[in-house]
Amino acid sequence: MKVTRKSAGAYSIALHGHTFKLEKLCGDRYWTLSNADDTEINRCETKSGMLELMSSWSAERAHENAQASTCYYA
């Protein structure tokens, strides 16, 4: 996993050949993880929590999330 800071509160994450965006908008309580198509994948209160979650993803799981076109978590 490679994490690159794009700006304050915005990171690009490369994982198993796929790119994801991790952002925390001004005033928002949660970090939002999205795929390259801007489909929201997950939310977490801490950046480190999201990175820990993603570190357990298999290549298959990363591919599924990179291809997702609908937000499934609730």
Where are the chain's structural domains? 2-67
**Using one digit for the tens of pLDDT, what is the confidence trace for 12-71?**
999 999 999 999 998 899 999 999 999 999 999 999 999 999 999 999 999 999 999 988
- How high is the pLDDT of residue 71? 86
According to the model, what pLDDT value does residue 72 have?
Answer: 74
Is the overall model pTM greater than 0.85, yes or no?
Answer: yes
pLDDT at 74 over 70: no
Q: Could you write out the DSSP letters of every residue in 11-55?
A: EEEEETTEEEEEE--TT-SSEEEEETT--EEEEES-HHHHHHHHH
What pLDDT does 53 receive? 95
